[in-house]
Amino acid sequence: MKSKKLTYIIYDNAKTLIGALLIAVLIRSLLFQPFYIPSSSMEPTLLVGDRIFVSKYIYGYSKHSFPFSPNITDKRFFSKSPKRGDLVVFKTPSDNRTDYIKRLIGLPGETIQFINGELFINDKKIVREQTAPKNIRCGNFLLDTNTFIETLPNGLQHLVTYKKRGTLLNSKKFEVPSEHYFLLGDNRDCSKDSRYLDSVGYVNKLNLVGEAKLIFFSNDTNRSSLLEFWNINKSFRLERLFKVL
């Protein structure tokens, strides 16, 4: 009798645990997924230590919507096109596993080029206005930068930074293939992005994971890690709590 009761308790708990795991996987795969920002490539928009929620359904679904990117299909379902300026999480084309987040700059069929330090889309210079400089990092180094408000062709404005010395002045003309996108980091001189054709390059629509929507927590890892909970008041960025992107 006791053995049957113990078996029932184990079975009941296992059923509850499996159900909870399935629900968590479905939410993570189909609705929202949390991500941690480990690098400074998107400063000042996203800081190292930001934790964000990414909408998974906004662009539809592919194999990269699911954990471990199972090789179950090469199609995208309920597909919706991203908009220029979106903060896009994607799997890098080089390994189809590593998650990157960058800003969508170029759409299929467009050309992108840097000329004398200015960004051109389809041979038209993108308007930018210099603003107050930000403290921008690149790894463990602080950069001496110029900060601009950049206005994309669809009217979306965002902050970008360039190093005062040693910035990228000129590039080749990038021609975005069909069903691909060109993405850049906002920290233009500290970002591995679509300019690096051997490692990132043009991003296929199948590699899109989702769009960053919200910062739900942020702590400055240079001041304290989450494991040092007694110092959390020194590193916690209260002003970024639940910040809409």
**Same-domain check for residues 12 and 133:** no
**Same-domain check for residues 35 and 8:** no
pLDDT at 216: 94
* Selected catalytic residue, list 40, 41, 194, 224: 41
Q: What is the pLDDT of residues 11-43, one digit of tens each?
A: 666 666 776 666 656 666 667 899 999 999 999
pLDDT at 103: 98
d(CA 173, CA 64): 29
Domain extent for 9: 1-30
Q: Are 171 and 114 in contact (CB under 8 A)?
A: yes
* Selected catalytic residue, list 56, 63, 91, 102: 102
pLDDT at 53: 95
- 41 catalytic? Reply is yes
**Same-domain check for residues 81 and 15:** no
3-class state of residue 136 by DSSP = strand
pLDDT at 24: 59
Q: How many domains are there within the chain?
A: 2
Residues lower than pLDDT 50 in the chain: none
Q: Nearest to residue 181, comparing CAs of 100, 127, 114?
A: 100
pLDDT at 20: 64
| CATH code of residue 151 | 2.10.109.10
The tokens for 242 are 């639940």
d(CA 237, CA 232): 10
pLDDT at 73: 83
**Same-domain check for residues 5 and 75:** no
**Same-domain check for residues 112 and 143:** yes
**Same-domain check for residues 55 and 26:** no
